[in-house]
Chains A and B, each alone.
Chain A
């Protein structure tokens, strides 16, 4: 069952079809909620988003892709949660304690690489929220610029400019640390 068929059947009230969609996009929804800062509340955010998406399915344009439409709802729910708890959103994530997949690796190289990733992640965390969100969508969620624009409810040009500013800021931050 492809997304189009599942959406059509869900619209007709077929919950089996909607379960197919939930199962298909559950992981992407969780990743989005977590990386946009839902933290411990990611599970609730994702459930709420799927329930809302079902209720608003009629407003989904059929020629569009389901995934960014859904992730937009996830991002909005995440914002609601982070706003309501009244603190700055944070990347609720940790680095996985594993080396790069494939091939033997010098433990020292691995440590250096992990250290580099940790510093880069810290720098991403410190970015202004708007730039950070764009970079999270583009590079951690691997969304296209157009999808990022849809998910974050901003214009394509805004995505481009925020991504550029964020990247520049990161480059300066990381570069400064390396020199220090």
Chain B
């Protein structure tokens, strides 16, 4: 029996273990380029959405989004896409996200050329020529009444979320037959609504565009802008001026947080339970 260390059959288990360790180290050092996961997620979602659309229309098929397109026509076409996706509320919400991806995930040139309607989490955002800010004064929402948090939870069909980064809300309102719950703190307003219902709020704004906030999968509107409540009959009520606002969706619930600056808004949003 030879004891030469060069004999590969000597102590095979130990030698294989060394080799296994070398392979693991080699694997660690292998660079595998990959696109950012959020981009992959968006691309996959866009494909699933495209396939969900009955006539297979998708991003490339959105007409009127090129430079010089008539914004009104483009909007009508997008509405058409949304209508075709209407069969289930989830579909509608998902379709909304695709439209967002089309408009905001596109090239900067594409962004500049499109004056359009974004619908996300129950909020319809009109982006285009910045008009004058509305003069309407804040009014209560239709049928708005003060309630306790527990009463609010009992009277709406969606789960009412509460940010743990803030104390108990100073005031809780339920409006429009349980369609919207509003939590209020000094200087802070958090509206919650069924994000799959369709449009609940409508916002008018120009540049700068809303900024995507991937950490909460939402959008930040940094400028004061006009906002109006859209009752279930679809006719928007008069506008008021809203401050910087964070919009996001948590499960099926749409949320809009108005008042804090972006960093604080994101912290509050991340603490919602």
Contact = CB atoms under 8 A, between A and B. Distances in A.
Interface of A: 12-16, 18-19, 22-24, 26-27, 30-31, 34-35, 42-43, 46-47, 50-51, 54, 93-96, 98, 100, 116-117, 120-121, 124, 135, 138-142, 164, 167-168, 170-172, 174-175, 179
Nearest to B27: A140
Interface string B1-41: 00000101000100110011011111101111111011011
Most interface-central of B15, B23, B43 (chain A CB within 10 A): B23
A109 to B, nearest CB: 14
A47 B47 contact: yes
29 contacts: A13-B88, A13-B94, A15-B49, A15-B90, A16-B97, A18-B45, A22-B40, A26-B37, A30-B32, A30-B35, A30-B40, A34-B33, A35-B30, A46-B40, A47-B43, A50-B40, A50-B44, A51-B44, A54-B44, A93-B30, A95-B30, A95-B31, A100-B29, A121-B26, A124-B23, A139-B26, A167-B20, A171-B16, A175-B6
A172 B88 contact: no
Interface string B229-273: 000000000000000000001010000000000000000000000
B91 interface: yes
A23 B37 contact: yes
Contacts, number: 126
B48 interface: yes
Interface of B: 6, 8, 12, 15-16, 19-20, 22-27, 29-35, 37-38, 40-45, 47-49, 51, 88, 90-91, 94, 97, 217, 249, 251
Given A13-B88, A43-B35, A139-B24, A18 B48 contact: yes
A117 B28 CA distance: 11
A13 B124 CA distance: 22
A22 B94 contact: no
A27 B26 contact: no
B32 A23 contact: no
B119 to A, nearest CB: 15
A21 to B, nearest CB: 9
Nearest to B21: A139
A139 B34 contact: no
Contacts of A35: 30, 32
Given A14-B90, A172-B8, A117 B44 contact: no
Nearest to B121: A16
Contact of B31 (A18, A23, A96): A96
Given A15-B49, A22-B40, A139-B27, 7 more contacts: A12-B90, A16-B97, A30-B40, A50-B40, A94-B30, A141-B27, A171-B15
Contact of B30 (A96, A138, A167, A174): A96
Contacts of B40: 22-23, 26, 30, 43, 46-47, 50
A36 to B, nearest CB: 11
A26 B27 contact: no
A94 B23 contact: no
Nearest to A28: B34
8 smallest CB-CB distances across A and B, nearest first, come from: A30-B34, A140-B27, A26-B37, A139-B23, A96-B31, A22-B41, A26-B40, A23-B37
Contacts of A121: 26, 30
Contact of A139 (B20, B45, B48, B51): B20
Most interface-central of A16, A96, A139, A170 (chain B CB within 10 A): A16
